[in-house]
Amino acid sequence: MKINLALAQINTTLGNVQANLAKHLDLIKEARQQGADLVVFPELSLTGYILQDLVPTVACRPQADDPVFHNLLEASRKIDVVVGFVDEDARHRFYIALAYLAQGQVLHVHHKVYLPTYGLFDERRFFAPGDRIQAFDTRFGRMGILICEDFWHVSPPYLLWQDGADLLVFSSASPGRGLNHSSQLVSSAWVEHINRAYASLFTIFIAHSNRSGFEDGLNFWGGSTLYDPNGKLVVQAPYFEESLTTAEVDLNQLHRTRARLPLLRDERPELVERELQRILHGD
């Protein structure tokens, strides 16, 4: 099976959900016209990233009676959509969230588990952390979705791999930083390095949608990627620019790679569980 993937590397209007929604609907349409089966937007694509006190004013609910999601769910009848937003739960806790929409339904919602609160980041001040990491079934097979700092930690991609995901979709609003003689920022080189490593170590597909544009002095570097189960770069969007980049996810590559390299077959999660028990609980 093959998936036509579209990475919607967009800039956003900070705090203006309606303007961002309109851009989503345009790009979803464009992706569909280009024959895409799945279009992936960046982290907080409906709101912008450094929200601070805007958080409570831009939150929505991923359900059909929400005016924003009503439009997105309608648009997802012909193409699957991964969208970033602020989720306000029934008890008014706010999460950085990613929803997978397909055929008018919400298939899965992920709440960002790791909220960076160091250096230039201040997420934990404004958001509650998620506490679940679960893969889910789509019409293209089992997938997992993670948000930015979630995949700077090795355990969430590992758990999704063990939960049966063969395509991991990473979404981020990654501020570019770290200057040296290289033609690439340190932060973008690092993200590409680890994404390639996950694809190679887990023999899976890693799709990464990162935003572009600026918020105050921060640049978002774009450069969205797809890596295949051999760790090979299939496609990369331009740095620092908005783009809709398409690529084919050839799921048959899983068969070819794993016939050669049975890392999934030989992985021993029960051993990991036993050793973690010992490390954490001393038994």
Contact residues toward other proteins (CB under 8 A) are: 13-16, 50, 52-54, 176, 179-185, 213-217, 219, 239-240
Beta strands 233-236 and 225-227, pairing class: antiparallel
Least CB distance from residue 235 to other proteins, whole Å? 21
In this complex, which beta carbon is closest to other proteins, that of residue 202 or of residue 221? 221
In this complex, which beta carbon is closest to other proteins, that of residue 33 or of residue 180? 180
Beta strands 38-40 and 2-9, pairing class: parallel
Selection from 222, 240, 254 nearest residue 7 by Cα: 222
Least CB distance from residue 222 to other proteins, whole Å? 11
Least CB distance from residue 14 to other proteins, whole Å? 5
Place of tokens 């929803």: 99
In this complex, which beta carbon is closest to other proteins, that of residue 200 or of residue 212? 212
Selection from 33, 36, 55, 34 nearest residue 46 by Cα: 55
Quickly count helices (H) and strands (E) in the chain: 9, 14
In this complex, which beta carbon is closest to other proteins, that of residue 137 or of residue 241? 241
Least CB distance from residue 210 to other proteins, whole Å? 15
- The token duo for 130 is 């998620």
DSSP letter for each residue of 37-49: SEEE--TTTTT-S
